[in-house]
Chain A
Amino acid sequence: AQSVAQPEDQVNVAEGNPLTVKCTYSVSGNPYLFWYVQYPNRGLQFLLKYITGDNLVKGSYGFEAEFNKSQTSFHLKKPSALVSDSALYFCAVRDTGYNFNKFYFGSGTKLNVKP
C-alpha cells in the first residue's frame, strides 16, 4: 500500500522567515501527492498537488511544494511565513490502479508561526 510520513509533529518559525514542512512518500508507480491545511474546528482544505511535470508546484496562499523523486520527498514551503499560517498541515498520497479513489494521509504537522 502507499504511504506518506511526516517526520515532524511540530514546526516553529518566526513570522517573515521561510518555512518548510516535510513529507516523504512510499508508492508503487507514479506518485500523486497532495497537501492540505486544517484550521481549528474545521475540515481540511486543499493547498496544492503534484501529478506530473514541474518539480516545483505552486498552490494557494503563497505555498509551494518541491517534489524530489530521488529522495521520495514532497516538502511544503513558503518564502515568508505569516502568523495566520499557523495550522495543522497534512500530506496525502493517492492510491494507484483499481484503488485510485483511495487516499492515505500523514499524521500531520502543527505549524506555529510566532510574531
Chain B
Amino acid sequence: NAGVTQTPKFQVLKTGQSMTLQCAQDMNHNSMYWYRQDPGMGLRLIYYSASEGTTDKGEVPNGYNVSRLNKREFSLRLESAAPSQTSVYFCASRSPVHGGDWGNQPQHFGDGTRLSIL
C-alpha cells in the first residue's frame, strides 16, 4: 500500500524556470492538499482540493497553480520559480467528505519534494 506518492523527491531549478510537482494517492480519498514547510514556520497550506473537480486557495497561493487531474492525482505547478519558493513541499490526502466521521479524519502525507531555486 503506497499511500501518498510524490515525485520528484529532489529538484534544483533556476530562477524563472517552471516545474510541476506530482502527487498521487491510492486510498480513494476525496480531499487532497499541498503544503510548504519552511524552518520555524511549520506547514503552510498552498492549495487544497476538497473533492474531484474543486480547488481552493490556502494561506500562501501566490506563485502557484494546481490541477486536480482525477480523484487520485493532484499536481502543483510553479510557473516562474523564485528563490523564495525554495522549500520542502508536502502533499496530503484525507478521507471522503461525506459519510461517517467525515469532518475529523486526519491527513496522510507523502514524504515530500525538496525544491531548491537558485
Contact = CB atoms under 8 A, between A and B. Distances in A.
B52 to A, nearest CB: 13
B7 to A, nearest CB: 14
Given A32-B103, A49-B104, A102-B48, A43 B109 contact: yes
Contacts, number: 60
Rank and list the top 6 A-B pairs by shortest CB-CB distance, nearest first: A43-B109, A46-B106, A105-B43, A107-B42, A105-B42, A44-B109
Given A44-B43, A104-B45, 15 more contacts: A36-B109, A43-B4, A43-B92, A43-B111, A44-B107, A46-B106, A46-B108, A49-B104, A51-B101, A94-B103, A100-B103, A101-B31, A101-B97, A102-B56, A103-B45
Contact of B43 (A41, A90, A94): A90
Contact of A101 (B35, B50, B111, B112): B50
Given A9-B40, A41-B111, A44-B109, A32 B104 contact: yes
Looking at chain A's contact residues, the main secondary structure is: loop
Interface string A89-102: 01000100000111
Interface of A: 6, 9, 32, 34, 36, 41-46, 49, 51, 90, 94, 100-108
